[in-house]
Amino acid sequence: MSHTQSYDGECFCGAVGFTVTGAPVASAYCHCESCRQWSAAPVNAFTLWRVENVSITRGASRIGMFEKTDNSRRKWCTSCGGHLFAEHPGLGMIDIYAAVLPQLQFSAGVHVHYHESVLHILDGLPKFNDLPKEMGGSGVTLPE
């Protein structure tokens, strides 16, 4: 019998809760301007999950959504404004901010949209100009 790991996340006030099961498809740092503006930070740490591995456990009616482009539907709690995740319909994935999954040991594998970086991180990880090929990007890497 195998045991599938699950992790609980919630917004800043706790009104919205969710659970993810299994392991993330990827963990990375995003340097794009949209993520930087949305997170109010120079870089955004995220984990990428299959849609079927994410379930809302409470507060679904309190989830707000903003869609700047067709690529991302950013979700947050309408009670506290706390960020939750971003749905990426074209990928069939949900991008969950590492900070809202405190039980998950975050370990990034790559940096994406590094050409937009305002905080250069010298950590030896691959730095993609946009995205890896398997995520629909060019696969072009940049030097540290």
How do the domains of the chain map onto residue ranges? 6-142
Note the pLDDT tens digit of each residue in 117-132: 999 999 999 999 999 9
Nearest to 134 by CA among 93, 75, 79, 82: 93
Task: Please tell me the predicted confidence (pLDDT) of residue 3.
Answer: 67
Take residue 75 and report the two structure tokens written for it: 């979700």
Q: How confident is the model at residue 70 (pLDDT cuts 50, 70, 90)?
A: confident
74-118 tens-digit pLDDT: 999 999 999 999 999 988 999 999 999 999 999 999 999 999 999
Across 60-71, average pLDDT = 93
The CATH code of the domain at 6-142 is 2.170.150.70
Distances (CA, A) of 61 to 16, 49, 65, 88, 112: 9, 22, 11, 20, 32
DSSP 39: H
In angstroms, rounded to a whole number, what is the distance separating the alpha carbons of residues 96 and 49?
7
